[in-house]
C-alpha cells in the first residue's frame, strides 16, 4: 500500500560565506542536525558575478564524511592528497569519501553567465569514519537520464528509477541522489522506502508537494518530507527542477568541528591535534 509523504518542514536557504570568501546559499547545515540524518549540509553556490565565487575553496581538510559536488553549469578545478587532479565540468559529479582524512581544494573558473553547483555532505557511521579515503569523478555523459513519463526527466547520480541505476554505487550509506526536471503542471510520483529520510531542493521554477497543492514551493527552498513510501511533486506554471535526495539515517551522535565531523568531542580534538602535528593524513 502506498502512502504519500507529507511536507514536514520547508526551509529557506540562507546567505552564507564559505571558503576564501564564496557567497552561497545554505539550504541546511549544523542548525538542522539531526533532522536530515544521514545528511549534514547542502550548499547552493550560484551567481552571474565571478566576484561571488572566484576566491574558491583553497586547501582544507575533511574527516568522517563524504562530500558530493554536482556542477549544473560552470567549471571547478580540484586537487587532493590522494593524487587526484582535474576539473568538474558542467553536469559532472565528484563523490569524495574523506574517511580517515584528506586535504583537497576546489577552485571555480570564471564562467560566462550563471554558474551553479551544489555540495552535499553525507555523514559516515562510526565504523567507517576512519576508512581509507576514496574519490569518484563522474562525467556528465556517464549519468543516465530516465524519463518515467511524458514531461518528466530525471538524471540519476545514485539510486534507481525502474531498471536504470546511477553510476555511484557501493555507497557506505544507502542513498539516492536525483536531479528531477518537470514540465509545467506535470506531476512526478516516485517511491522512496519508508526507512529513508528524504528531502527536495527546488532550484528552478516552483512545485507543490504531496497533497498541498495550494502551497507551492519556490526556488532556493528545501522541503523536508515526513513519513510515507512515495513522494508526489507537481510542477508550477513555469515547470520545476529540483534535487531529490534520500538516505538511511545513521542515528549516532554528531560532533562537528568545521570541515571535520566525528562522533565525540575527543575525536574532534584528536583530529585537530593531528592536523597541527602533520599526522592527519593516514593513507598515501
* Residue 2, in any domain of the structure: no
pLDDT score, position 191:
97
Contact predicate 283/272, CB 8 Å: no
Work out the number of other CB atoms within 10 angstroms of the CB of residue 197. Answer: 21
pLDDT score, position 212:
61
Expressed as residue numbers, the domain containing 68 is 7-277
Phi, psi values for residue 33, rounded to 5°:
-70, 135
> In the chain, how many domains are there?
1
* Residue 139, in any domain of the structure: yes
pLDDT score, position 275:
97
pLDDT score, position 282:
87
* Residue 284, in any domain of the structure: no
pLDDT score, position 215:
79
C-alpha–C-alpha distance, residues 34 and 283, integer Å: 30
Specify the CATH number for the domain of residue 129: 2.60.120.10
For residue 111, give the 3-state DSSP assignment: coil
85 dihedral zone (left: phi>0; alpha: psi -120 to 50; beta): beta
pTM of the entire predicted model: 0.96
**Tens digit of pLDDT for each residue in 11-55?**
999 999 999 999 999 999 999 989 999 999 999 999 999 999 999
Best CA proximity match to 153, nearest among 143, 142, 167 = 143
Using 70 as the pLDDT threshold, list the residues of the chain that sit under it: 211-214, 283-284
Contact predicate 207/236, CB 8 Å: yes
Alpha-carbon torsion 104, 29, 109, 176, what sign?
positive
C-alpha–C-alpha distance, residues 105 and 63, integer Å: 14
pLDDT score, position 177:
98
- 17: enclosing H helix or E strand: strand 14-18
* Residue 282, in any domain of the structure: no
* Residue 1, in any domain of the structure: no
> Which whole-number Å values give the CA distances from 141 to 92, 113, 186, in the listed order?
8, 22, 26
First to last CA, the chain: 50
Contact predicate 34/110, CB 8 Å: no
pLDDT score, position 211:
67
Best CA proximity match to 280, nearest among 63, 13, 4, 91 = 63
Phi, psi values for residue 103, rounded to 5°:
-115, 135
pLDDT score, position 214:
64
pLDDT score, position 213:
60
Amino acid at each position: 500500500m502506498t502512502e504519500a509523504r507529507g511536507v514536514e518542514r520547508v526551509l529557506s536557504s540562507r546567505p552564507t560565506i564559505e571558503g576564501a570568501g564564496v557567497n552561497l546559499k545554505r539550504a541546511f547545515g549544523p542548525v538542522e542536525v539531526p533532522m536530515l540524518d544521514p545528511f549534514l549540509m547542502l550548499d547552493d553556490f550560484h551567481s552571474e558575478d565571478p566576484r561571488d565565487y572566484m576566491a574558491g575553496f583553497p586547501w582544507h581538510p575533511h574527516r568522517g564524511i563524504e562530500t558530493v559536488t554536482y556542477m549544473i553549469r560552470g567549471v571547478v578545478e580540484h586537487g587532493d592528497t590522494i593524487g587526484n587532479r582535474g576539473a568538474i565540468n558542467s553536469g559532472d559529479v565528484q563523490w569524495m569519501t574523506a574517511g580517515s582524512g584528506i586535504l583537497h581544494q576546489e577552485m571555480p573558473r570564471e564562467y560566462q553567465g550563471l554558474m551553479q553547483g551544489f555540495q552535499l555532505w553525507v555523514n559516515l557511521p562510526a565504523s567507517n569514519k576512519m576508512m581509507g579515503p576514496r574519490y569518484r569523478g563522474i562525467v556528465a555523459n556517464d549519468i543516465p537520464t530516465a524519463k518515467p513519463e511524458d514531461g518528466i526527466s530525471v538524471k540519476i547520480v545514485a539510486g534507481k528509477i525502474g531498471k536504470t541505476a546511477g553510476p555511484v554505487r557501493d555507497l557506505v550509506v544507502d542513498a539516492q541522489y536525483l536531479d528531477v526536471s518537470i514540465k509545467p503542471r506535470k506531476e512526478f510520483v516516485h517511491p522512496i522506502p519508508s526507512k529513508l529520510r528524504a528531502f527536495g531542493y527546488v532550484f528552478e521554477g516552483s512545485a507543490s508537494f504531496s497533497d498541498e497543492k495550494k502551497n507551492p514551493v519556490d526556488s532556493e527552498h528545501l522541503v523536508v518530507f515526513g513519513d510515507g513510501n512515495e513522494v508526489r511533486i507537481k510542477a508550477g506554471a513555469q515547470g520545476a527542477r529540483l534535487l531529490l535526495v534520500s538516505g538511511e539515517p545513521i542515528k549516532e551522535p554528531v560532533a562537528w568541528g568545521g570541515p571535520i565531523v566525528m562522533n565525540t568531542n575527543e575525536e574532534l580534538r584528536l583530529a585537530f591535534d593531528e592536523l597541527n602535528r602533520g599526522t592527519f593524513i593516514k593513507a598515501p
